[in-house]
Structure 1
Amino acid sequence: MTDHAPDQPQSSKQDSKPTGTTRTSGRLVAGLAVAVIAVLAIVGGVLAVQGMTRARQNQPDARNTQTPTRDAYLARVSEAMRNSSWREAEAILREAITIYEGDQDLHLQLADVLRTRATAAAWHEQDTIPTGSGAVDPSNTAAARAAREAAARRQDAIDAYEQVLIALDIGPRTPDVEFRAGLLASESGQPEAAIEHFRAARAADATNADYPLYLAQSQLATGEVLAAKASLLAAVNVDPDNATAWGTFAEIALRENSLDLALQHVRKARALQPDNTVWRLIEARALKRQGHAEEALLVLTALPEPEQRDAPVLSLIAECYALLGRLGDAANRYADASDKRAIDPDLARQAAEWLRRAGELDRAAQYADRAAMLGDPDGAALATELRGG
């Protein structure tokens, strides 16, 4: 892992806020995706309840027509969603929308379904366990599945965003619907549009710290650092114990190489959220830049062992060992992680590279062979090189 500051924050309530390095940012973006799903589910549930209470104002008289009532449509949608039948739920809602035109809640319900469909399907994909020669289908590696899921989530967000825009046009333009539109615009790669929605939500309700917090994230994504700092200040004025806001302040300070300030902010975030791995990563990176590799290692090795094998944590641990001249320890960390995740080609290749740096060429060749067997072309090239080919 290279020592660069990340582009995105990770959330405290939703776990999707800015991080301290590009890889940390990837992790947080992943964190943000989970947070967004949770927020959308909550908002969608509230809107569904509100919609059900208004149902009879918008539906035809069931005694005089065969047209299903709006309540009946929503009940069918709920049943389909309970069964994870997303396509069925989508079809039901699209039919209902043609009958109950101008119904904001139905469009918001459809946004819920569209946002969830392919993401839920991706979660159910099964890992391929190598057998026989150990060959793995390149389309079913962890990286390939992650790429497919990311693409599915983005397309879901785009489709859902279109429905929320329709809902906003129908009205009312409430803060929660504006916020929801901002989340989806951000997730679909439209940070400028997200900024406008978050600003509208904040203007309508100045008591919700999430609105300026997410506004700050989108402003960071567009390079508006000063504006992001102002938004973060607004967030902590509303909620002084918002760990994500303090962690985001730390992220910005780390980008600006203000290491003492970064440590001050991230330690406040850690005090509020002691189990948040991202805050430890930011703190350890700041300590490493200050030349305190031993202290950075103490911060990282206090994590549970499975988390120490996560890519951004493992990479930073290895970098700290390298700064201390302990290449063998760095190599053994990667070898152990590869042994515990034997179908991960990236881990096998990185273990081989670190073992080569540590001078353990025979062991390096074994892990390079594993990477090659798992379909990693760089691992195959390294295996050939190590065996004198």
Structure 2
Amino acid sequence: MPTETITIATDAGHDLKGSLELPTGLVRGAALFAHCFTCTRQSKAAVTVARALAKEGIACLRFDFTGLGGSEGEFGRAGFAADVADLVAAGRNLLDRFAQPILLVGHSLGGAAVLAAADDIGFDGVAAIATIAAPSDVPHVLQRIEGDLDAIRETGTGEVSIGGRNFALSRDFLEKVESVDLLEEVARLRRPLLFLHSPTDAIVGIENASALFAAAKHPKSFVSLEGADHLLLRETDAQFAASVIAAWATRYLPLRDDWPMPEEGVVVKTGHGKFGTEVHTRTHHLIADEPRSYGGDDSGPTPYDLLTAALGTCTAMTMKMYADRKGWPLDGVTVQVTHERDHAGHCDHAKAMADGKRIQALHRRIALHGESLDEEQRQRIVEIADKCPVHQTLEGELHIVTSKYESD
């Protein structure tokens, strides 16, 4: 999926750096991801969740909080209130771009931050909120800091270590963290909430999820991340959390009214990335792309994959329908179709048909499953493959008629 690097201006006068994960096809909605304490937008949870949402058509912005990663500003003087302000700035950026309510997702202290930022972003701007391993007590984060916090309160500043990294913290940072009553914030929210938490989280205990869930109003949901560590360092844990959030979010970010669902045929619209394209039928939509070797993102089948799939699926359906009508014991069909771009040197009638044009071919291999089928039945079912409608269309006299399409 394509990733766009963006810059977010803050009211404090410095810029934040973000990565916007875009769907290959059309955008059904947008999400904002807040990373864990002292992490960056490159954390496993941030990248995995953002890309999983993008696969569902939800553009997701992951960004670095003030003073972390590529963002400007001083982390040690910012505090929790600055994280909330950063989220508001990033949220407004998404609202301006996509013009519809967004999904908020936060990990660890980032989860607490999205809960606290929802009101400031605006009731009409937030569709739903999901948190991963969020603390219910924001001052809890101070327990993860190695250093003399009392000395910082007295002198105004001091050096500390957080997760093995050294930072200079200010008295203002500590006071802003200690002044937050997150449960009161959560109790005021009137938005769908999803809490994900591991019962074996050694950093932020499961009791935090219980407190948040109890304070929240319905609709609210809880999902256990059994066996996961706090940072979701195992790929399987990060993928599971991402898939749950992506599935849950689609309920609150429904398909847009302007998505093309034609009454007949298909509508194809370009999406994001070099070749990303979305195909819409009356009731379905899917992504087409090119492989990375051709400069694509490999996020969907290629146009020739779709062509060969049309012949393969129609072949399988036609054979099964025929066998069912005859009452023959066909258990199933496997069809493999490959495309040969230069077939002229492999067929006797190529010279007569070529007329200066390249002869191409689709090679179809068919396997019939069903031990009770006799040879005569097998032969007849394979012969029926040539009767499939797509086969007849491809080998018939096919004209492609192009006309102007009314655009907006």
TM bin (shorter chain): under 0.3
Structure (1/2) with the larger helix percentage: 1
Report the TM-score, using the length of structure 1 for normalisation.
0.26
Greater per-residue strand proportion? 2
